[in-house]
């Protein structure tokens, strides 16, 4: 009888312990979500702090887009100069200038270039900081686009130039009408990847006090003294944009591959 009572008591204690343990887990989960909600409110909802991220995202996309436009235009120009020199031996002086440009830009960090352009070149000029960033990142991107485009042009068979000549086209006409369209098709995925790289590189715009996406997260951190949530939010926004762009690049590559098979 005593054994039965002891067993019953032990079972009751075990059941009570399990109930207490379950209650503790529920309370812990509930406490976590309450704390998370409070932190979310403090970092993003209170005083409309989320607008720092919204405005920063707008500046980031603005800088990235116009920098890419400058980079593509400048890159194509430098690539044509260098490939023309490689194929014909002409444009020697411009080729030397292009090589110097590529060596300097590709051999120095983009953040250093940004600081030099803002604090040295435009030190005595009242100029919009976003414009400075566009110029800096555009010059930097142009150097990498130039090599991408040049590799595309040089990959086109010389027979294409001969075909253009047989049709009575000049070298420049052949380059514009025959070579560049083929090269552009080949390098389009690489140019898209350069856009992704450029998007991430603009995160250093805050060095000249531009309120970009990264700076927006840092501003929230400075007000709430909680670094985790705003920085994680910035990282997730960048990650989402990169994943979307990467998906678009993949779709573009598949489309080009299908067209090549036709």
Whose structure tokens read 């009751």?
Answer: 12
Question: Using one digit for the tens of pLDDT, what is the confidence trace for 11-32?
Answer: 544 444 444 455 588 888 887 7
Whole-angstrom distance, CA of residue 168 vs CA of residue 41: 70
Question: Using one digit for the tens of pLDDT, what is the confidence trace for 117-176?
Answer: 999 999 888 889 999 999 999 999 999 999 999 988 888 888 887 788 888 888 788 888
> Which pLDDT value is given to residue 259?
67
Q: What is the pLDDT confidence band of residue 187, given thresholds at 50, 70 and 90?
A: confident
Predicted confidence (pLDDT) at residue 193 exceeds the cutoff of 80: yes
> Which pLDDT value is given to residue 173?
83
Query: What pTM value is reported for the model?
Result: 0.82
Tell me how many degrees the CA angle 67-153-75 measures, rounded to the nearest 5. 15
Whose structure tokens read 């900081």?
Answer: 129
For the chain, give every domain's residue range.
Answer: 53-261
Whole-angstrom distance, CA of residue 111 vs CA of residue 205: 8
Percent helix / strand / coil, the chain, rounded to 5: 90, 0, 10
Predicted confidence (pLDDT) at residue 71 exceeds the cutoff of 60: yes
CATH code for the structural domain at 53-261: 1.10.3720.10
> Which pLDDT value is given to residue 159?
82
> Which pLDDT value is given to residue 262?
62
Residue 225 is given by DSSP the state S
Question: Using one digit for the tens of pLDDT, what is the confidence trace for 228-259?
Answer: 999 999 999 999 999 998 888 888 778 877 76
Q: Which structure tokens are listed for 57?
A: 């995202």
Whole-angstrom distance, CA of residue 244 vs CA of residue 238: 10
């Amino acid at each position: 009888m005593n054994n039965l009572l002891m067993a019953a008591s032990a079972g009751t204690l075990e059941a009570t312990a399990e109930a207490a343990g379950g209650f503790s887990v529920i309370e812990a989960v509930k406490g976590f979500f309450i704390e998370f909600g409070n932190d979310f409110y403090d970092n993003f909802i209170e005083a409309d702090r989320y607008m720092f991220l919204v405005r920063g995202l707008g500046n980031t996309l603005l800088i990235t887009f116009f920098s890419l436009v400058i980079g593509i235009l400048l890159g194509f120009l430098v690539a044509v100069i260098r490939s023309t020199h490689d194929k014909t031996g002409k444009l020697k002086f411009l080729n030397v200038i292009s090589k110097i440009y590529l060596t300097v830009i590709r051999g120095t960090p983009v953040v250093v270039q940004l600081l030099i352009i803002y604090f040295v070149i435009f030190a005595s000029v009242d100029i919009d900081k976003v414009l400075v960033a566009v110029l800096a990142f555009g010059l930097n991107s142009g150097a990498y686009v130039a090599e991408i485009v040049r590799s595309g042009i040089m990959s086109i068979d010389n027979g294409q130039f001969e075909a253009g000549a047989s049709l009575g086209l000049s070298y420049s006409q052949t380059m514009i009408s025959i070579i560049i369209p083929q090269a552009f098709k080949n390098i389009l995925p690489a140019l898209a990847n350069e856009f992704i790289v450029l998007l991430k590189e603009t995160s250093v715009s805050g060095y000249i006090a531009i309120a970009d996406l990264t700076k927006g997260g840092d501003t929230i951190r400075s007000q709430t003294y909680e670094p985790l949530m705003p920085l994680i939010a910035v990282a997730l926004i960048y990650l989402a944009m990169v994943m979307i762009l990467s998906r678009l690049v993949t779709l573009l590559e598949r489309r080009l591959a299908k067209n090549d098979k036709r």
